[in-house]
Chain A
Amino acid sequence: MRRDEKPVLSTHDLTVRFGGHIAVDAVSCDFHRGTLTAIVGPNGAGKTTFFNLISGQLSASAGTVWFNGEDITRLSVAQRTMRGIGRAFQLTNLFPGLSVRENARLAVQAHQRMGMDLFSMADNHVELIERAEHILSEVHLLEKAGQIVSELSHGDQRKLEVALMIAIGPQVLMFDEPTAGMSVDEVPIILDLISGLKQDQDRTILLVEHKMDVIRSLADRIIVLHNGELVADGAPAEVIASPMVQQAYLGIAPEDTQESAHV
């Protein structure tokens, strides 16, 4: 880790309110190049909302988001994506009526900024298709490239979800529970992929995940959100050990531990 460097991504007092409810409450946090940060917290803690604020699906009520020294708080989703913020969604979010290959090809095409090309034939741009197929092979989907997405299994859709994010060539990769609902034998494919991506020191990875063993093996750092507030931030071992996290995230109240000790 190169903590001396300027952060790639940072949030300053990032806040969003839905009516009277504060979903994300003044979260300030820096994310550095070459690191993987796990974001944990109970359901409803604001993890996905925090992601939405960074990738732009939600606009902040207050506070700012900075990317490579630029204030991106007011930019649209597409503008943030083109600057290099990629997102894999928690609820699978694909182009259901198109083929697996076409889904990936569209993402590669976006990265190459070729969308406004009106008069060439899309299928003649072989390099885009090859790049798309290369990414599909990384997520073990190449043999299903011709299938229509709506016919894929849930696990395969999750893999394609990740493939679409990789295809747009982002600097910041945001995974929102990438292994949720996957079968046991499919989980390692995604985890290998994430740790492979982590090897690239130019990338910054944000990961929302519930499985503690996954976090222990991948994360350089854990931040904990609780009721929209950032309540803990540090190295995995110390954060997991802290009583506050034991209570807030793992749901073990101090009294519970005492009671169980009595039993």
Chain B
Amino acid sequence: MIMKLLSGDHPRSKTLSIVLLLIVFGLLFAPFLFPGTRSLDTAARICIFIVLVASYDLLLGYTGVVSFAHTMFFGIGAYGTALALTNMGASYAAIALGTVCGALAAGLFAFMIALFSLRVKAIFFAMMTLAVASAFLVLVSQLSWITGGEDGLSYRIPREMTTAYKLVQDKFLNVRINGKLITYYVIFFSSLSLFLILLRIVNSPFGRVLQAIRENAFRAEAIGYKVVHYSSVATVLSAVIAALSGSLIAIWLRYTGPATTLSMDIMVDILLMIVIGGMGSMYGAVIGVVLFLITQSYLQNLLGILQESLGSLPIVSEVVSPERWLLWLGILFICSIYWFPKGVVGRIRGG
């Protein structure tokens, strides 16, 4: 049953299986295990980014196609939902319509980019996506009468999904069962389903062809696979799933702006997460996202504790100052790439 859900994709390592189980249970019971707004926010971001990064891995790790437009598709999904909620009011119909339209728009856009640029050299496709994504970012920032420009859009979501709504009056395990909690579980289960769909796709006959293209596109063509068709379908699928994860973040944050969805910083984060976790394995995306987002969220706190305990040493305490967290984040990434060139999953599996 479990193997069927995982599409027969065994983690192939005891350590990896245990870590994955811990992550799933950690996220499933996050509101009760780690109470507090901030930790719930981190947990929701982890869910959403797992889908986003896994959908990117479908392109980069499985098909071997380098794209820089993934945040654009993430943004299209987020803006689709945000625009629907802004203009139609806080209704479920708005969420559904916005999500579907966002996903369709992302798929269509991805198809057009694939059509024009996948036929030629890989580097051209990468450059094309970079250009289109940058242009899109500028466009969204300039069209402020629709998109809210740099300020983005703030909107309301249905009342049942906010803290104002209480499912039961009493606390359960010291946690208030409110609309925010419901929204978290909507995001958790949506992300889980999308991840399982991705896992199925990469283990399907189609997914195997993608791996063949990554390994040797020339030979894939010579055994009868039309490489352009397969990589185009992969590009569209990855864009649609990225857009769906964008809709999730739009619902969670109740705000959509260029900085939270479209910026190139997020693109770089996605690349880092995928490299840290391990390319070419959906589980790598899970590990990479969890490591990255937890480090990003809590490194400052950790450094604060370190500085307090090392307060007496003049230079050291200066070096571990919480203000220098970005420096430490960078050092950690360099180290992890140096020690785990095949990512954490590659390392655990003994590669």
Contacts and interface: CB of A to CB of B under 8 A. Distances in A.
Interface of A: 55, 57, 76-79, 81-82, 87, 89, 93-98, 102, 105-107, 109-111, 114-125, 164, 167-168
15 contacts: A57-B218, A76-B221, A81-B222, A89-B222, A93-B218, A93-B219, A98-B211, A106-B212, A106-B220, A110-B225, A117-B204, A118-B201, A121-B7, A123-B8, A124-B8
Contacts of A116: 205-206, 233
Given A78-B226, A102-B208, A115-B209, A121 B200 contact: yes
A138 B233 CA distance: 35
10 closest A-B pairs by beta carbon, nearest first, are A95-B215, A110-B224, A81-B224, A117-B205, A78-B226, A77-B221, A115-B209, A118-B206, A107-B223, A82-B224
B203 A55 contact: no
A122 B216 contact: no
Nearest to A107: B223
Contacts of B223: 81, 106-107, 110, 164, 167-168
B226 A119 contact: no
Nearest to A149: B215
Contact of A109 (B205, B218, B219, B227): B205
A79 B214 CA distance: 20
Nearest to A120: B204
A169 to B, nearest CB: 10
B216 A168 contact: no
Contacts of B288: none
B212 to A, nearest CB: 5
Nearest to B233: A116
Interface of B: 7-8, 200-201, 203-209, 211-212, 214-216, 218-227, 230, 233, 237
B212 A95 contact: yes
Contacts of A111: 224
B17 to A, nearest CB: 19
A55 B205 contact: no
Contacts of A81: 221-224
A89 B223 CA distance: 12
A89 B237 CA distance: 33
B216 A115 contact: no
B230 A115 contact: yes
A77 B222 CA distance: 6
Contact of A106 (B204, B209, B226): B209
Contact of A119 (B200, B220, B233): B200
A89 B219 CA distance: 9
Given A55-B222, A76-B226, A78-B227, A117 B206 contact: yes
- Interface centre among A93, A95, A107, A168, by most chain B C-beta atoms within 10 angstroms, is A95
B83 to A, nearest CB: 30
A106 B215 CA distance: 12
A111 B123 CA distance: 31
A93 B224 CA distance: 14
Contacts of A78: 221-222, 224-227
A87 B223 CA distance: 8
A61 B76 CA distance: 45
Contacts of A79: 226
A98 B215 contact: yes
B55 to A, nearest CB: 14
